[in-house]
């Protein structure tokens, strides 16, 4: 086997390991909305694409729940995690045992209008195994998808590219990636789309594969996929071409260089059409809504959104000690400021556009629907766009300061390896950590912790020591 194939295989294995260790450190039902997504995945692979629905009204929410029929073990309820999620003194070992058997059970889920492709890709283990094993396998199936996107972003990239990907892939994002949750696919897919468009190290088909794979991942992950895909694409093209017709033409020629590229482009277009059709026909946005509150003003919405935005930035790094999370945010902030100062006008416009998008678009959307559905938003919904700040700023810094970009990338990966390793260790020793839904024994905990550290050193060892190529324009 050629040496390049060994290196590629080792890199994929390291990406998979970095995600998969989290699948064994989090209790099966201990994450947000996990039961909703597990039930929908088990239903999708059984052909229940348009299940019956019921309306549930509470003082705070108006919810349309989909009623799906799945094997009893996959009908996870909130009671499975109630024993420790509401009691900080208790560990996940208090959770009841998994139900066994294949008796059909009807369960409600609020994910029943989500695009089904991701769920079909991760739900198949439910056809082969009972829930106590099947949910873990579903997590690993999701980890395979995320690891493959990471691998496409890193394969045969420069050390600078490895550094910027390491900075974008926070512990919280990898934790989310190890769950049955399509938002990780959306964010990592967007990362691949950004790096394939903005940090193209040449005009090869490898970058074009990244555009297609990342674009499809964003489109099929969640109902807002088409909006995010267009937003990332437009901002990335502004950064690379300045939206000038001549340079847009060059970019288009690179994206459609060969017959294979054109076939991939057709596939991406077909998925985009299907995603838009699903969104229009199923109306996922109408599945959950808040209650209108006439007392809430525009200034209240802006204040609440900014507070949640900042908290979500910290939360997307790590839910552990705030000092470490905020340090990560500050490092990214310094990098972005350096990129804005040193970048060309088009790169500055694109970065400022990302910041403006992440504030203005959600706020306008919330305010325009305030009298109909109330305040419905979570800060991480904008992460697919925000991650572009890291990509653009890193490309600028590596171009303007090439002598320091390589060493700085090595330092970033080294620090990231340490933070990820410590995050896994902390999760294993926290009250919600578990291996097999019991308190983590010493040996498995050490093995998983060491695996994390090793996984994060391999990408830099396989990287090529060179800087990304110049953007298309001058």
Q: How do 53-57 and 104-109 pair as beta strands?
A: unpaired
Compute the distance between CA of residue 395 and CA of residue 383 in angstroms, rounded to an integer.
19
Residue among 231, 358, 355, 227 at smallest CA distance from 305: 358
How many Cα atoms within 13 Å fall on the side-chain side of residue 84?
23
pLDDT tens for the chain, 474 residues long, are 566 677 778 778 888 888 888 877 776 666 657 788 999 999 999 999 999 988 887 766 677 888 999 988 888 766 666 665 555 556 665 665 555 667 888 888 888 889 999 999 999 999 988 887 888 899 999 999 998 998 888 775 555 666 667 767 777 788 788 888 898 899 999 989 998 888 765 555 667 888 899 999 999 998 888 989 999 999 998 988 877 787 777 777 777 778 888 888 899 999 999 999 988 888 776 666 666 666 666 777 777 777 766 666 655 555 555 666 667 777 778 878 888 888 888 888 998 999 888 877 777 777 766 666 566 666 667 788 888 888 888 888 777 777 766 677 777 777 777 777 777 777 666 645 444 444 444 445 556 666 666 665 666 555 555 444 444 444
Q: How many residues does the chain have?
A: 474
Q: Helix 159-168 vs helix 182-198: angle between axes, to the nearest 10 degrees?
A: 150
Compute the distance between CA of residue 248 and CA of residue 471 in angstroms, rounded to an integer.
12
DSSP 8-state symbol, 76: -
Give the pLDDT confidence score for residue 155 in this predicted structure: 74
Give the pLDDT confidence score for residue 88 in this predicted structure: 53
Is residue 72 within 8 Å of residue 101, measured between CB atoms? yes
DSSP 8-state symbol, 69: E
Taking the mean position of all CA atoms in its chain, how far away is CA 399?
27
For the chain, the distance separating the N- and C-terminal CA atoms, rounded to the nearest angstrom, is 41
Residue 355 burial class via C-beta count within 10 angstroms: exposed 0-12, middle 13-18, buried 19 and up: middle
Give the pLDDT confidence score for residue 468 in this predicted structure: 44
Is residue 453 within 8 Å of residue 145, measured between CB atoms? no
Rounded to two decimals, what is the model's pTM? 0.85
Compute the distance between CA of residue 155 and CA of residue 474 in angstroms, rounded to an integer.
27
Q: Which helix (H) or strand (E) holds 65?
A: strand 61-71
Compute the distance between CA of residue 12 and CA of residue 153 in angstroms, rounded to an integer.
11
Give the pLDDT confidence score for residue 124 in this predicted structure: 94
What are φ and ψ of residue 427, in 5° steps?
Answer: -65, -35
Buried residues in 19-28 as b, exposed as e (16+ CB within 10 A): bbbbbbbbbb
Q: Is residue 289 classed as helix, strand or coil in its secondary structure?
A: strand
Taking the mean position of all CA atoms in its chain, how far away is CA 50?
26
At CA 4, angle to CA 447 and CA 463, rounded to 5?
65
In angstroms, what CA-CA distances link 206 with 108, 152, 258, 334, 383? Answer: 42, 8, 12, 31, 25
Is residue 383 within 8 Å of residue 224, measured between CB atoms? no
In sequence order, which residues have a C-beta less than 8 Å from that of residue 189 and are 6 or more positions away? 149, 213, 214, 215, 216, 217, 218, 221, 384
Residue among 43, 324, 289, 65 at smallest CA distance from 172: 324
């Amino acid at each position: 086997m050629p040496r390049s194939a060994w290196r590629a295989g080792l890199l994929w294995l390291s990406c998979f390991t970095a995600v998969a260790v989290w699948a064994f450190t989090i209790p099966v039902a201990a994450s947000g909305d996990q039961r909703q997504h597990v039930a929908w995945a088990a239903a999708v692979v059984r052909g229940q694409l348009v299940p019956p629905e019921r309306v549930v009204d509470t003082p705070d929410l108006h919810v349309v729940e989909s009623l799906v029929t799945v094997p009893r073990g996959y009908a996870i309820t909130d009671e499975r995690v109630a024993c420790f999620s509401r009691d900080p003194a208790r560990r996940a070992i208090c959770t009841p045992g998994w139900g066994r058997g294949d008796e059909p059970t009807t369960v409600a889920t609020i994910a029943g209008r989500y695009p089904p492709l991701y769920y079909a890709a991760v739900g198949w283990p439910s056809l082969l195994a009972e829930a106590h094993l099947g949910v873990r396998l579903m997590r690993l199936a999701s980890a395979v998808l995320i690891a493959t996107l990471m691998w496409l972003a890193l394969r045969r990239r420069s050390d600078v590219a490895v550094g910027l990907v390491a900075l974008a892939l926070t512990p919280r994002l990898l934790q989310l990636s190890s769950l049955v949750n399509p938002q990780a696919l959306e964010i990592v897919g967007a990362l691949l789309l950004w790096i394939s468009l903005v940090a193209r190290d040449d005009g090869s088909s490898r970058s074009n594969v990244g555009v297609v794979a990342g674009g499809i991942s964003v489109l099929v992950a969640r109902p807002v996929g088409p909006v995010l895909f267009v937003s990332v694409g437009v901002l990335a093209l502004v950064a690379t071409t300045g939206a000038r017709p001549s340079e847009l033409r060059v970019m288009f020629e690179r994206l459609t260089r060969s017959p294979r590229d054109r076939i991939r482009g057709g596939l991406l277009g077909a998925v985009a059409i299907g995603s838009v059709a699903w969104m229009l026909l199923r109306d996922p946005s109408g599945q959950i809504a808040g209650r209108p509150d006439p007392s809430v003003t525009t200034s209240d919405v802006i204040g609440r959104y900014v507070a949640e935005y900042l908290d979500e930035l910290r939360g997307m790094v790590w839910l552990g000690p705030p000092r470490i999370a905020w340090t990560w945010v500050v490092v990214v902030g310094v990098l972005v400021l350096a990129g804005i100062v040193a970048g060309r006008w088009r790169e500055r416009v694109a970065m400022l556009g990302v910041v403006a998008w992440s504030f203005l678009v959600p706020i306008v959307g919330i305010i325009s629907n305030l009298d109909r559905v109330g305040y419905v938003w979570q800060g991480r919904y904008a992460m697919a766009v925000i991650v572009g700040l890291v990509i653009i700023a890193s490309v600028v810094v590596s171009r303007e300061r090439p002598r320091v970009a390589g060493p700085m990338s090595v330092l970033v990966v080294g620090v990231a390896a340490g933070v990820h390793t410590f995050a896994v260790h902390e999760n294993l020793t926290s009250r919600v950590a578990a291996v097999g839904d019991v308190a983590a024994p010493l040996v498995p905990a050490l093995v998983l912790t060491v695996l994390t550290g090793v996984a994060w050193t391999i990408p830099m060892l396989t990287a090529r020591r060179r800087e990304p190529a110049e953007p298309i324009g001058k």
